[in-house]
Chains A and B, each alone.
Chain A
């Protein structure tokens, strides 16, 4: 799973420690999520979404799902113009 946590944090000029404190997790956890080594649980993803004032899918997204959606869109286009 990919995420925009690092970008969102940089936009606010926060350190990993400050973000970890705001999310009530360890700095290692924030670091692991940012590097894509660890996927957060749903409650933690909700906490991050609340903190940044965004929807969960605006922060976290599954590349495999993007691929599926794009192939589905291609199929719909084919059907429409066929």
Chain B
């Protein structure tokens, strides 16, 4: 005999597939994600300008380099504000998933970064512990823990 829960779940799936209307929350989240993406791309662009500009674009003229630094900081602030808005407008569950992911990411970053730095200074590890490695590790940890959190509450 089919349980009431099972019937309701099937009905929900069918109805949500048939209507497929985007709710206010979904469209707002989509807009916020797009905004974060645009600011992040812009920030990466200014980082590239800061790294390659002095060598390839303005022959290491200090004023232009300082302007590029200023632009990078301003766009970075914009990206932070976009992220802040994104988090503020998430619902309770999504915010918890992201908070857990952030906690795990910060923990992993600290736990890995300090020993790696010490091992690098004593030449124990065969590569130079660069900040880029830490950024990559944080990105991967955040993605994995977010995926885990989303599946956990499904």
Contacts of A16 in B (CB 8 A): 12, 16
Using an 8 Å CB-CB cutoff, how does the interface string of B16-28 with A read, 1 for contact, 0 for none? 1001010111100
| Interface residue? A17 (CB, 8 A) | yes
> How many residues of chain B get a CB closer than 8 Å to chain A's CBs?
23
A37 touches B15 (CB 8 A): no
Question: Within 8 Å CB of A31, what residues of B?
Answer: 154
Number of A-B contacts (CB under 8 A): 63
Q: Would you call A15 and B25 a contact (CB within 8 A)?
A: no
Q: Is the interface of B mostly helix, strand, loop or mixed?
A: helix
Q: Is A57 an interface residue (CB 8 A)?
A: no
The reply to whether the CB of B5 lies closer than 8 angstroms to some CB of chain A is: yes
- CB of B15 within 8 A of CB of A17, answer yes
Is B5's CB under 8 angstroms from A41's CB? no
* Least Cβ–Cβ distance between A42 and chain B, in angstroms: 10
Say yes or no: is A74 at the interface (Cβ < 8 Å to chain B).
Answer: no
Asked if A38 and B93 sit within 8 Å, CB to CB, the answer is: yes
Does A32 count as interface, using CB distance less than 8 angstroms? yes
Chain B residue with minimal CB distance to A20? B23
SS class of chain A's interface: helix, strand, loop or mixed?
helix
Does B29 touch A at the CB level, under 8 Å? yes
Tell me the minimal C-beta distance from B6 to chain A in angstroms.
12
Tell yes or no: A28 within 8 A of B by CB: yes
A21 to B26, CA, bound (A): 9
- Interface digits, A7-46 against B, CB 8 Å rule (1 contact, 0 not)? 0001000011100110011111101110001101100100
Given the contacts A10-B8, A15-B11, A29-B93, A38 and B25 also touching, CB distance less than 8 Å: no
Which residues of A are in contact with B by a Cβ distance under 8 Å? 6, 10, 15-17, 20-21, 24-29, 31-33, 37-38, 40-41, 44
